[in-house]
Chains A and B, each alone.
Chain A
Amino acid sequence: MDVHLTAEQILLRDSAAKFIAAAGPKVARASRGRPPSFAPGRLRQVGELGWLSMLVPSSADGPALGLTELALVLEQAGRGLVCEPIGLAIIATAALAQGHAPHPILRRAMRGDALVVPALQESAHDPLALRTQATGDRAPRLTGTKMSVCADGADGFLVSARGVDGPALYYVPRDGAGVSVATTPTVDGRTLATVELKDAPADLVPARQSSRSAVEALTDLALIALSAELLGVMEGAQELTLEYLRVRKQFGKPIGSFQALQHKAVDIYIKTETVRSLLYQVAAANDPYRIDPELAVAVKAKASEDALVVTQSCIQLHGAIGFTDEHDIGLYLKRAMLLSSLFGNAAAQRRRYIELTEMKV
């Protein structure tokens, strides 16, 4: 079902679709295994379009757009299998722009001249687990290990750590003292990194007064961003698959005329549309800096689970060709594997949901 949008939002969506039409599976395929797995020039272009600073409040010279705009751009990014980490870059500028005197890296990050990505996760199953320690009040230093960081091409990290006042966010430059980054390839040709911090100098990122905790706010924002991209991945895979069902013939007929395959296609459609409604209803009802965590978790749980089911079904509907590296449909499954696993997979989201909704006794 169409999402109801304002004229400005339609313009934004259309320009995102246009920009992203230049990406697509071909570019995603070509960039596999070549770090950085995206084109820094294209990230700067995204910056010039103003998208990297879309959530930045007017106090930091940003347009202060909302979650709907974020979702519109990232949905298109997922649909086009865009390799530039647009979503992570946007939520990083949003986090950096909090407080009275934003960090100097913000300006460059808003333009796409520098890439800052979140480095929050310490446990594969609990996205909020936090052992990294911050010591020193004026000049904090961080010690701890972050995992599953999208460090490809990153110039710096937004790191969560326990300071004297509890969990807080810090900016750590990649080439700073005491920072070591070890990368491992992912199935979709990119890398995830383990970032080790040993007494690494860091700058405290002040929390926006209205937000709960800067760490949780950034995590919940990340859940929405990743879910939007997952929606796009589902859509892209669905489009490719419906086209195949119309043209591929067996038994003298297009295979899309067979009821067993039609019903499987409808299930893909229902899952995609359900994630769309959920994502955009949550986006319309929440401020980027104070997202209801129960809803953020619900969206990511649903998007993570359904994107995997949908992309797997799409491979099944393609038959043997879907199992080849040559065919693009596999790229969507692999992107879904990456995005659904980050910041907590579906099961991890459900565990947090149980805590948040006091479902225990």
Chain B
Amino acid sequence: MFRRDSPDEAAFRTEVRTWLEANLTPALRGRTNRPPPAELMPWYRTLSRKGWIAPHWPKKHGGMGATLNEQIIMTEELARVGAPQLPAQGLNHIGPILIEFGTEAQKVKHLPPITAGTVIWAQGYSEPGAGSDLASLTTRATLEGDHFVVQGQKIWTTWAHHSDWMFALVRTDPLAQPRLAGISFLLLDLHSPGTTIRPIRTIAGDDEFSEVFFDNVVVPKENLVGKLNDGWRIANTLLGHERLGTSNPQYALIALDRIKTMARASGVMADPAFQDRLAAASINVTALSALFSHAVELTNLQRSPGPEASMIKIFGSELLQSLNDLLIEAAGSQASLEKPITTDFGTVDVSTPFLQVRRATIYGGSSEIQRNIIARRVLNLPQ
């Protein structure tokens, strides 16, 4: 809406759009849940063969070396065609972390399988006793000679039951003060003996995440990323980019379209009270586009928005929720139907996105934690 493609970018957009239209099978389009690996990974590998699986990675590591604008174009075109969400832990988290902090051996071993789509990664941060207070995590990694012994539990681990590897924050110094100074960043082979994975069903009806138990799991010492007890810094370094990526207004625009379709089908579009709320929501989507484009502009100028990225995450995720409130309102008495609703204006899945979007204000640091961050680091309010 605000960003304009340069001629080169416009050509790139056309190329991406044309290719996606020709190569993404209809069965994978417009899915409100992430399809299982058997369906999804062939698409992942198709993108990989095209060389488009990792737009933000440098070329020498198998990425596209794309500019930020090209990455955004890619995201927008994938969203526009209704492409399913790929498993992102390898591409967006451990990949960039290893590129920045990994040893040569770690890069050689782990990066190619991520871009090839032959290995799936999971993120092991949260624990039953360490959610918002992540620094209190207790999964223990004890160094014994040339290996660590890991004992503990991770939870809310997206796709763990489909994953081969996990990057995890583990406690390597139980006495450290502050507590975050005793945390290390470790790579764990989920096929190791002593590892148990149990899927957890979500309110949206899928089993997107799991809990993972480690019972004296042996992890080679060379799987440590960065220095011992420096894991907190490593995990937090690249968060700003992630928050920006998940706030792309394209998702809100898709939600808006879904509401309009449902509202036209159910007749509520003619109600002035509904129109007013839809107008307010639509204006907020425009505002999100402005926030996003503003942040991209600053990032391109090497003036990364930093903790202010938290603001975009809050605004974007809360907006997505209010859009889905309108969606179930538009559906009226059909709001609670489990399956997509067939109408004269198209098929609309109402309950799944409404339930799915609950997680947007929880994962990656809840809205309340984001507000704490802004209060302290941006507004300089006292402790």
Interface residues of A (CB under 8 A from B): 1-4, 242, 245-246, 253-254, 256-257, 259, 262-263, 265-267, 269-270, 273-275, 277-278, 280-282, 284-285, 295, 298, 301-302, 305, 347, 350-351, 353-354, 357, 359-361
Q: Which of B2, B275, B295, B381 contacts A257 (CB 8 A)?
A: B381
Q: Are A270 and B301 in contact (CB under 8 A)?
A: no
Q: Are A254 and B382 in contact (CB under 8 A)?
A: yes
- Nearest neighbor of A247 in chain B, beta-carbon distance: B382
Within 8 A of A (CB), among B39-75: none
A270 in contact with B311 given A2-B303, A353-B282, A353-B283 (CB within 8 Å): yes
On chain A, the residues within 8 Å of B260 by CB distance are: 359
Q: Are B305 and A359 in contact (CB under 8 A)?
A: no
- Nearest neighbor of A284 in chain B, beta-carbon distance: B2
Q: Are A263 and B375 in contact (CB under 8 A)?
A: yes
Closest CB of chain B to A38's CB: distance in Å? 32
Q: Are A359 and B269 in contact (CB under 8 A)?
A: yes
A277 in contact with B291 given A257-B383, A301-B283, A361-B269 (CB within 8 Å): yes
Q: Is B203's beta carbon under 8 Å from chain A?
A: no
Q: Are B286 and A298 in contact (CB under 8 A)?
A: yes
Interface pairs A-B: 8 shortest CB-CB? A262-B375, A281-B290, A350-B279, A256-B381, A277-B294, A278-B290, A277-B290, A281-B2
> Roughly how many angstroms separate A360 CA and B267 CA in the complex, as a whole number?
10
| Additional A-B contacts beyond A2-B303, A265-B379 (15; CB < 8 A) | A1-B294, A242-B379, A242-B380, A242-B381, A262-B375, A262-B381, A263-B368, A265-B375, A266-B314, A280-B294, A298-B286, A301-B279, A350-B280, A360-B270, A361-B269
Closest CB of chain B to A360's CB: distance in Å? 7
Interface residues of B (CB under 8 A from A): 2, 4, 260, 264, 269-270, 275-276, 278-280, 282-284, 286-287, 289-291, 293-295, 297-298, 301, 303, 305, 308, 311, 314-315, 368, 371-372, 374-375, 378-383
Pull 15 A–B residue pairs with CB atoms less than 8 Å apart, ordered by A: A1-B294, A1-B305, A254-B382, A262-B371, A262-B375, A262-B379, A269-B311, A270-B314, A274-B315, A278-B286, A282-B2, A298-B287, A350-B276, A359-B279, A361-B269
> Roughly how many angstroms separate A273 CA and B316 CA in the complex, as a whole number?
13
Closest CB of chain A to B129's CB: distance in Å? 21
Report whether over half of chain A's contact residues are helix, strand or loop; otherwise say mixed: helix
On chain A, the residues within 8 Å of B275 by CB distance are: 354, 359-360
- Nearest neighbor of B383 in chain A, beta-carbon distance: A257
> Roughly how many angstroms separate A262 CA and B278 CA in the complex, as a whole number?
30
Q: Are B379 and A266 in contact (CB under 8 A)?
A: yes
Q: Are B287 and A266 in contact (CB under 8 A)?
A: no
On chain A, the residues within 8 Å of B368 by CB distance are: 263
Closest CB of chain B to A189's CB: distance in Å? 31
- Nearest neighbor of B269 in chain A, beta-carbon distance: A361
Q: Which of A246, A274, A354 has the most CB of B within 10 A?
A: A274
- Nearest neighbor of A3 in chain B, beta-carbon distance: B294
Q: Are A350 and B283 in contact (CB under 8 A)?
A: yes
- Nearest neighbor of B4 in chain A, beta-carbon distance: A285
A270 in contact with B315 given A242-B379, A245-B381 (CB within 8 Å): yes
- Nearest neighbor of A259 in chain B, beta-carbon distance: B372
On chain B, the residues within 8 Å of A274 by CB distance are: 287, 290-291, 315
